Structures are given as C-alpha cells and as structure tokens.
Structure 1
Amino acid sequence: MTTRHYDAIVIGAGHNGLVTANYLARFGKSVLVLEARGVVGGAAVTEELIPGAKWSSCAFIADMIRPEIVADLELRKFGFHMYSPATMGFAMFRDGRHLFLHKRVADTVREIRKHSRADARNFVEWGARLRRFGDYMRPWLLSAPPSRAQIRAEFERNRELDLYRDFFESSTRDLIGGFFENDLIKGFLTFYGMVSVFAGPSTPGTSYVFGHHSSGDFDGEFGVWGFVRGGMGGFTQALADSARHYGVTIRTSARVARVLTKDGRVTGVALDTGEEFTTGVVASNADPVRSVLGLLDPADLDPGLRARIANIDQRGSMARIHLLIDELPAYLGLPAGLGPQHLGHQMLGASVENFEKAWRAEQAGVLAEDYAIEAVIQSATDPTLAPRGLHTLTLGVQQLPGELATEGGWAAAKESWADLIVDRLCDYAPNLKAHILDRHVITPKDLEDEWSLSGGNIFHAAMFDDQLFSGRPVPELAEYATPIEGYYLCGAGTHPGGGVMGASGHNAAYRILQDQALAKLDPPAHIPRARFTDRVAMNRLGRRLAYEVARQPVFDSLLGRITRIPLPGPTPFPSTLDRSDTV
C-alpha cells in the first residue's frame, strides 16, 4: 500500500469531474482525478467501438455546454471545437411523410408551413416562449441552487406565471399540443421531454424535462445545437488536457473502493487495489446514491438520511446501437446519397402515441413492439470518425426499463432487441439491410455496469419536481456538500442536473473554494424583463406580424441577430497562476 497527499481528489473523470478539477487547479490546488474506466470522459466519450471507426458512446449532441466554462478553461486552446449543421432535425414516419428543421428560424418556418400554416404561425410564438423560459433558467445554472419558491417568485415578479405553469406543471403532451397540430412536429418535439425519464408524454412535469433539453444555445445562438469535432470525447479530452496543463494528475483504471473518514471528516480515498491517497477534500462525480451509500462507511451518516438517499428516484434509462455502414440510409421518398436528412438529429417514428405505448411497456418492465428511434451520422459532417467510404450511425432509444422483468433480463434480450430496432430502422431506409458491416449495442444494464450509472440513468437522478434545484438530489445534499466535512458531490445528480454542460462541476468547485474562503459561488440572479421582440411574439396579437417577418428571406439576418445571446468572457483567476498560451 502506498500513500500520497493531494489538496483535493476527484472521483470520476466524466465531464463534471474534470471541470471541478480544472477550477480547483486554477486556484493553485494539487488535484488527483481517479477514473475507474480505462479512458477519461465518463458518458461524454469518443471510443473505437468497432475497429477502424469512432463513436460518441453515450452522449452525442452538444446543446448544453456552458460557454462560460469553455471561456474560463480556455478549452479552444486545447483542441475543443464545435460546429453546427445547417439542417439540425429530420423527422419521418413510415408512410414517408417527413419534416426538416433548420438552423435558421426562417427556413424552419417555411418548412413547417408546407405541413401546416397554423403550426408555422405558432412556431414563432413557441420559440419566443421557449427562449423566455431559457432566460429564467440560464442565470441559475452557474449559481447556488434556488428553491422552487424563489423560481416561482421570479415568474410572478415578471407577471409570467402562465410560463411557469407551462414549463413546471404541465405535461409534454399538453405543452406541445397547445401550439401544434401536425403529428410530425409534435412527435419530434415530444422526444425532448422523454430523455432518460420514467414517464410518458402525458406525465405532469415532463414539460420541465423538455425545457431543460431544448432551451440551450450554441455560440450565442438560442435554440441551436452542435457536434463536437471528433465526437463528444473532444470536449472531455480538452478538459483533461487543460487540467494536466495546470498540474492535475489523472489516473485511469483506478477504481475508488472507499472514501476514508475520521471524526466526521474526509481523510482520503482507497482504491480497490488497496492503494490509498490522503486529502482533506474529495469531490465525487458518481451518482449520489453510489457516492454516499456505496463509498462511505454506513456509520458515517444518520440512518434517516441514508434512507432518504436510498429512495432517490433514479429510474429512466436509454440505449444506444452503434452501426458501421458502407452506404448512407436512403430514406423513403428521398434521393440516395448524402443529403440534409443525414446531417443532424434524425427522428424516426416519433409520434406522441408511440411514446405513450413505450411508457406503458416501461412501467411493466417489458419491451414495447415499436419505439421512436433517434439517429445521428456524425461521420457525414466529421470525416475523422470513419474510413473513407464508411459511416458511423448511432441509434438511440428512450423509455427503456433499467431492469427487464423478463427471464434473463437485458443479458438475454440484448441482441434480439437490437435486431428489432435495426429492423424498424430499415422500414425507413430499406437499403441499409445489405450495408450494415458491424454493430455495438449498449443497454441500460451496460450503462450501469460499464459506466457506473445506477439504473442506467444518465442524469444520475430523475429530473422531476422534488428532485430539482434546492431539492436535488435531496435537500441535505443540494448545496454540493455532504454532512461529512470535506466530502462533496459534483455530478449530474446535483443542481442544475443532467446533460453535458459542466455546470454541476463548476458549482461544486466554487462551493469547495467558498468553504476555503478563496472564491464565492454566485447567488441566484433576478431575471430581467422579456425582450421587446419576444413580448411581441408571445402576444397573440403580434404573432401574425412576427410570422410574416420570419417567413421572408430578406429578414433572415435580422432574425439571426435577434436570437443571439451575449457570450461571457473568461473569469479572472488569481494572477499568480500560470496563464501561458503554450500547450
């Protein structure tokens, strides 16, 4: 057994853990990051799952990475690069009906108008309301978690309680159904409320899940998402390289078995090999149940708190099927060869009723006969991921049981279920049957066993009413600190929750620094009044004017400027630290 001392130790080299390590290092702390897997990145990782090609194993779309963190940690100096395709969404039903959603608002409005003039008119108002919801959420992302009462008070102060009710108390079905009538647009949008939830479209509260996933921004442009060059691992590799540059030590294949304590405070960690490290600060990027009940001695915590932590709702899982193909999907009624349908987020069979049926199966612990399938072919826009002539196709399926009630569970059902999903895919692109070279399947059980995600939940804890903000994951742990002095949580199970954004890691680092009187975590901010343009668009009397502006190509550049969000500059760190541009 060997020992070495560090100022802080981070458990888990997922993106939040690496963010925490980066901020601590920039305040002069010696930091050790311990990762159980053989590669950094956690669920935000790029891996060669099939020889010769690379995939984003779990998370693959970057719509939430906080630009403040990118600026603070100078990630572009370390190779981080994002880009956004011109066509971001493509929805298709089995009868060949399809819909494109474009990066430019005006293009999307004109596309929706082909299917429904009423929906096209409503889309501008819808976008304004969604952006206004984003205005409320954004200041709280990098702050101490507010209470629900604080949040409601801000909506009430701005006389927007109807917006609060829409995004906090409604179901996804009611939220979207209040604006749109076309099944393609309703199905596509409903997906974002079904991400890693144990719920269906009619479940109250899923409207918040929808808003959490769809009110992000890319390079200051609201409602736009992007890919990370080289796959999602390009983000975590940049974080790791930045951390190493500032002196952080990162060890992979190093599984933490226990957090060591004495007299109610942290003293170090022990690996499953018996190796120990001493420290006065440990930040765990694992989910809260695993972090507390799995790594601490049971005697360290009050039995009542242990029981409340054991009852944290971690239901809601998903799966990935990664395919290596030698021909792009020729979707029904569309020409063969590379087209806009291959560039962005493809949604196949995403109807509200399909999601409802999947929810009924999820509750019973069984597999549904059909699922909405999301597909991404990042190699179509990033040729570094696959050899010439080949492509990487990732399929995603939500609303899956973490544990199957059928005999043998996921181990027995894994390949037959993947066969079913691939067969469903070929209903939309029949040519693919003869062009799939290999596949790699990741089930909810794989997420739990390989990525240490309890229940296969990528958010570490369900993102519903009582597990949000100052209740996330339970009130006693909501401020990132635990009852054990020096032991903190920095993963997605803390505020503001799941998604690849790094906010939980940022906030945990600042809570640690605050406890050491070195920095301060910002309090929740007051929300400004809505922009004039949004007030017009959210007013039904002004909706037609906004729609007429949106559908005219001459106003495209104006709309782009209106939808931009001011980007922050980097945080000034202590001047004694090395701020060299040399990497």
Structure 2
Amino acid sequence: MPQSYDAIVIGAGHNGLISANYLARAGKRVLVLEARDVVGGACTTERLIPGSESRWSSCAFIAGLLRPEIINDLDLERHGLEMYQTEAMEVVIFEDGSHMFMWKDIDRTLKELEKFSKADARSFLDFGLRVKQFASIITPFLMRPPTSRSEVLRAFEEAGCEDLFDEFVLSSTKDLLDRYFESEHIKGLFTFFGMISVWGGPSTPGTGYVYGHHSVGEFKGHLGQWGLVKGGMGGITQAMARAAEAHGTEVRLSAPVEEVLVSGGRARGVRLVSGAEILAPVVLSNADPARSMLKLLPKGTLKPSLEKAVGAYDNRGSMARIHLLIDELPEYVGFPAGKGPQHEAQQIMGASVENFELAWEAQRRGVLPEEYVIEAMIQSTTDPGLAPEGLHTMTLGVQQLPFELSGTTWDKARDEFADAVLENLYRYAPNLRGHILDRVVITPLDLDRDYGLTGGNIFHGAMFLEQLFGSRPTPELADYRTPVKGYYLCGSGTHPGGGVMGANGHNAAKVVLDDLAGRTPGKAAPARTASHRSVPDVVMGTRLGREVGYLAARQPALRKVIKLFTRSGN
C-alpha cells in the first residue's frame, strides 16, 4: 500500500524547505523529495573534487536577501545557521592596478569613492537614500501573495515617487546609474548587480529592477549589506532541513519525482522515477514553472492556452561558476603581497559598462565574449574549515552567458571557456598561474541538467516587469495555485522572484494553509506610510542637509549614528 502524507514538497531547495517548515509547524505531516543526494538546490555546499575534503558553495555564495522574518520564524540560528560579515564587502580591481573597496562602514566607502570622483562620493549618499526609499515601498509586497503591477505602481504614486518606479523598475541599469554617477569605474562596479542572470546588457530596459531587487536585501537589519554563511551556503538549507525535521518533516534524498499524480482534476500524490507512488492531497513544487507545469504534470492536464503561456515564459539569462582549489592566494595587481581584505571581500575584475555591453552582444549571438567580467570569492580565508591547511577554495562567476552556443555545445566548450576565463584572471593575479591544483566548471547546461534550472536561469525566469508581481510566472499561476486542485508552486519562478530570499516558500505555504482551512483572505494592499520619508530622507532633501550629512557620514566617530540611518526599519 502506498505511503501517504498531508503534503509532499518536490525539491529541497530553500523555498521548498521553507514551505515544508511552515506546513509542519501547522501540524501537517510533510514529505520533502529531493532528486539530488544533498539538500539545498542552488543553495548548497558540496565537495566537488573527488578525494578532496575542500567544500564550495556550488551556486549561490552570498547571503543578503534571506528575509529576517523567516530566520526568526523558523528559529534557524538555533538549528545551526551562523552568518557573519567581513569588513570589506566588495573590491573592484582594475587592470592598471587601481582598485576600490566597498566597506561595511560608510565613512571608509566614501573615502574610497573619492579616489575616483568626489562628486560621486556625495551622490552615493543620495543614491543610498533613494534605494532605501525604494525598499520601503517594495518590501511590504514581498511577504504576501502578489498583487497586480498596477497596485504596485499605485503605491509609488501615493508616496509621490513615480520617478522612483521609473528608475528602479522600468529603466536600464545604465540609465539608472547615469543619473547619479559620472565615474566609469564606479558605474562599472555597480552595473554588475544589475547583470545577474539577465538576458541583456546595461542598456536593456528593466535591468534597473534586477539592481533594485538585490538592493533591498539586508544583513541583520542593515539595508544593502550582505554576509557569508559558516560552512558555505549549505548552512542555510541544512538549518532549514533540521528545523523541518524537528517538527516531523521527512526529507528524502536521491528521490527524483517523475510525475504528479492527478485524478479528477486534483493532485493525489507523486510517482518517483523508481516507480514508487506516494499519496498526498497537497503537492508543492519547488521546481521552476516550466518543469513544474510542463514536465511534472501528465500530458493533457493543462488547457492549451495555459500550456502555451508557460511555454512562452522567459527563462533566458544564465551564468557559470568555476571552482578552483589553489595552494596560494592571488596576488592582485596594485596590492602588496600577503593576505589582505581584498581576499575576504567579493572580488570583481574587468567591471566596465563597455565590457558588460560586449558580453550582452556575445550572449545575443550565442558566442563567448573575448573579455570577461569575473566575480570571485575565497571564503576559506574567513572560514578555514572549508579547505585543508595551506589550501583555499576560490569560486569564480561569469554572468551574461548564452544557454545555447552557436556551432558547439557547453560540454564541448567547457574547457575552452574555463581556460579563457583563467587567462583573463591571470592579468589581475599573475601568480595564480601554476598554483591551481584542480578545477570544477559548472556551465549553464550543468545548471539545467544537474541543478534543475531550466535554461540555466538561477532566478527560475527573467526578472523583468512583464514577469513580476501578479504576472509571475503567468497571471493564472501568480497566487501559487495551479488549475490542478491541491497542486501549488513555491519556487523562485513565483512572486517575489529569485535569489535566496525565501518569501516565495513562505507565501506559498500560507496560501496552502488558507485553502486547507477554507479561508479566503482579502486582497488588501500591504501596510505603508503616507510619505515613506524618514528623518534622514527629510534632512537630506535640502542642500544644507546633504552637505551636513556627507560630512557626518565621513566621520569614523559617528559610525554608530550613521548605522541607525541604514536600518531597514527607518
């Protein structure tokens, strides 16, 4: 006789585990089925090199979007989640040896920006307040089922911030940054955050929202900051799995699902690839919308119109990771030898608006670019347990890559691509040549094939306005429900989008619990203030206020005061 549960979650990625947690806490008997032999999906830590004890965060490697409400609700710290920050957040390194740090403390950051443009250093505070105002309007929409795009626009209009909607939702990253900054070096760094898993370039309309989506993240209450997870990003999902198991959830690995069982228009459970059937009146899919609706449901389940809409859902925009095992830290041009803050920060090389535009042109044509913008992280410098003594784990990332290559395949081009990226890297860290002991390349095809990300898109779909809020992934599926009763979506292809945020899993679970209880919650808009203008917003709204604010922000002695202004609740 088949096993039965109250609910089955397909996929042990972070959103699936979050849904399982909330359902289990409501007294439901939950089973999580994961195709791979490790929990986490794209938020995981793995031993990627056979025979090596070193561990890497295979896909996501920075924690800045995970909602604090979820951390608190699920008591993740008690279940082993340990997050920490480095003093240096980012460092952008240029080929001529110049570089610029973004520090945790704003006074140090302003002095770095002044090296390239004093005007931009002043504009940085104005930009930061705009980001904070954008966050104050958009954040209340995150932890609830999506509303229409017109309702979101209305929130900006009521706050008198239509121009903010234009800048951070409709505009291109280039247009957004051009309004505030003049230095190509500074714009090159900031452009990176609008190019994550996009099919486009800096001038592509809508990429401003990709920047805005990342800017609303916070670390321990401080907006726009991020941290690292001890043990790698798998520390997040391992804590989530432990929390779920503590409330009775069963997590089963190496258990790929072949099909959702449907009878009479209702979900009845799942059939595994092994042939085993498991029953449940509720099934949630943490897979992306294309897999959830077109591959997991029996053929003929969906109306042709919805099947066509899901088939047209835009999954373009991919990236790659190259994981290195090194026996010497990079000696970057312009830095003295020896370990320094440049090794603890997120390192970005080749960041220029032109290089991002050239990468988009190559992506559009299905070829590899000649110049790569490279991000790097060496977490073993701050978390020695990730690598044996004398060794380090270094992860490289390349964005704006085509999923399909013209005239070849990723399997054939894997080494050619990795070699070319490393040749670019050697221009910034010549000493690394000869000190790379091994490497593992995760291509866009690998993201699709091994991690279950259709098209290699880590966000489960493009993050442009036509696929956001009440249209993500389609209007018919936007409230996490599907036409199959009892079958729900909870992955990053739902509102509010991608990244290790977790709001998707939270919201989906709440919808499931409402349906099981027969509740029909209203469509009330999220609570918001009339003006969204905090004290620092008002003060900085005057010329004198901006001057005083800038002088104050540059003073190390006033760090505690300035940090109060960066609190996300202000």
User: TM-score per shorter chain, which class?
Assistant: over 0.9
Residue 382 (str. 1) matches residue 383 (str. 2) = yes
CA distance in 2, matches of 1:239, 1:171: 36
How do 1:230-245 residues align onto structure 2 when only pairs under 5 Å count? 230-245=231-246
Deviation per CA, 1:304-348: give whole Å up to 9, x if none: 110111000000000000001111111002011111111111110
CA distance in 1, matches of 2:348, 2:422: 14
CA distance in 1, matches of 2:78, 2:235: 12
Moved more, 534-543 or 280-289: 534-543
**Residues 391, 120 of structure 1: alpha-carbon distance in 2 compared, 3 angstrom cutoff:** same
CA distance in 2, matches of 1:173, 1:452: 32
CA contact (8 A) 2:132 2:568 kept: no
How do 1:62-461 residues align onto structure 2 when only pairs under 5 Å count? 62-407=63-408, 409-461=409-461
Query: What is the DSSP-based 3-state SS (H/G/I as helix, E as strand, rest coil) of the residue aligned with 1:298?
Result: coil
Deviation per CA, 1:470-518: give whole Å up to 9, x if none: 0000000000000110000000000000000111000000000011128
CA contact (8 A) 2:553 2:559 kept: yes
Deviation per CA, 1:107-152: give whole Å up to 9, x if none: 1111111221101110110111011111112111101112111111
Query: What is the DSSP-based 3-state SS (H/G/I as helix, E as strand, rest coil) of the residue aligned with 1:204?
Result: coil
CA contact (8 A) 1:143 1:523 kept: no
Deviation per CA, 1:177-218: give whole Å up to 9, x if none: 111122221111101100001010000100001000122110
Tell me the amino acid that sits aligned with residue 3 of structure 2. R
CA distance in 2, matches of 1:34, 1:77: 24
State the number of aligned residues.
565
Residue 11 (str. 1) matches residue 10 (str. 2) = yes
Deviation per CA, 1:333-380: give whole Å up to 9, x if none: 201111111111111011000000000000001111111000001111
Residue 552 (str. 1) matches residue 555 (str. 2) = yes
Deviation for aligned residue 1:3: 1.1
CA distance in 2, matches of 1:181, 1:16: 39
2:22 paired residue number: 23
1:579 paired residue number: none
CA contact (8 A) 1:142 1:522 kept: no
CA distance in 1, matches of 2:523, 2:426: 50
Moved more, 543-552 or 241-250: 543-552
Deviation for aligned residue 1:554: 2.5
CA distance in 2, matches of 1:328, 1:382: 14
Residue 542 (str. 1) matches residue 545 (str. 2) = yes
CA distance in 1, matches of 2:456, 2:23: 29
Deviation for aligned residue 1:527: 2.5
Query: What is the DSSP-based 3-state SS (H/G/I as helix, E as strand, rest coil) of the residue aligned with 2:459?
Result: coil
CA distance in 2, matches of 1:293, 1:3: 25
CA distance in 2, matches of 1:74, 1:67: 10
Tell me the amino acid that sits aligned with residue 26 of structure 1. R
CA distance in 2, matches of 1:195, 1:220: 24
Query: What is the DSSP-based 3-state SS (H/G/I as helix, E as strand, rest coil) of the residue aligned with 2:322?
Result: strand
CA distance in 2, matches of 1:525, 1:148: 14
CA contact (8 A) 1:98 1:184 kept: no
1:572 paired residue number: none
2:36 paired residue number: 37
TM-score normalized by the length of structure 2: 0.97
TM-score normalized by the length of structure 1: 0.95
CA distance in 1, matches of 2:64, 2:223: 10
Query: What is the DSSP-based 3-state SS (H/G/I as helix, E as strand, rest coil) of the residue aligned with 1:90?
Result: strand
CA contact (8 A) 2:116 2:186 kept: no
CA distance in 1, matches of 2:369, 2:115: 32
Tell me the amino acid that sits aligned with residue 452 of structure 2. S
Deviation for aligned residue 1:405: 1.3
CA contact (8 A) 1:11 1:256 kept: yes
CA distance in 2, matches of 1:168, 1:470: 15
CA contact (8 A) 2:99 2:334 kept: no
CA distance in 1, matches of 2:217, 2:291: 29
CA distance in 2, matches of 1:558, 1:456: 43
Tell me the amino acid that sits aligned with residue 503 of structure 2. A
Tell me the amino acid that sits aligned with residue 548 of structure 2. L
Moved more, 515-524 or 78-87: 515-524
Tell me the amino acid that sits aligned with residue 359 of structure 2. A
Moved more, 527-536 or 331-340: 527-536
Tell me the amino acid that sits aligned with residue 565 of structure 1. S
CA distance in 2, matches of 1:252, 1:158: 48
CA contact (8 A) 1:510 1:521 kept: no
CA contact (8 A) 1:315 1:457 kept: yes
Deviation per CA, 1:359-410: give whole Å up to 9, x if none: 0000001111111000001111111101111111000000000111122x10
Deviation for aligned residue 1:540: 5.3
C-alpha RMSD of the superposition: 1.4
Deviation per CA, 1:73-94: give whole Å up to 9, x if none: 0111110010011100100111
Deviation per CA, 1:244-284: give whole Å up to 9, x if none: 11110111111100001111111110001100011100000
Moved more, 451-460 or 534-543: 534-543
Deviation for aligned residue 1:531: 0.5
Tell me the amino acid that sits aligned with residue 562 of structure 1. F
1:565 paired residue number: 568
Moved more, 304-313 or 106-115: 106-115
CA distance in 2, matches of 1:421, 1:302: 45
CA distance in 1, matches of 2:364, 2:286: 29
Structure 2 unaligned runs (5+)? Answer: none
Query: What is the DSSP-based 3-state SS (H/G/I as helix, E as strand, rest coil) of the residue aligned with 2:151?
Result: helix
CA contact (8 A) 2:215 2:223 kept: no
CA distance in 1, matches of 2:185, 2:377: 18
**Residues 522, 371 of structure 1: alpha-carbon distance in 2 compared, 3 angstrom cutoff:** farther
CA distance in 2, matches of 1:444, 1:164: 32
2:48 paired residue number: 49
Deviation for aligned residue 1:566: 4.4
Tell me the amino acid that sits aligned with residue 275 of structure 2. G
CA distance in 1, matches of 2:334, 2:43: 35
**Residues 523, 12 of structure 1: alpha-carbon distance in 2 compared, 3 angstrom cutoff:** farther
CA distance in 1, matches of 2:68, 2:252: 27
Query: What is the DSSP-based 3-state SS (H/G/I as helix, E as strand, rest coil) of the residue aligned with 1:440?
Result: strand
CA distance in 1, matches of 2:518, 2:380: 44
Tell me the amino acid that sits aligned with residue 8 of structure 1. A
Moved more, 41-50 or 525-534: 525-534
CA contact (8 A) 1:35 1:253 kept: yes
Query: What is the DSSP-based 3-state SS (H/G/I as helix, E as strand, rest coil) of the residue aligned with 1:497?
Result: coil
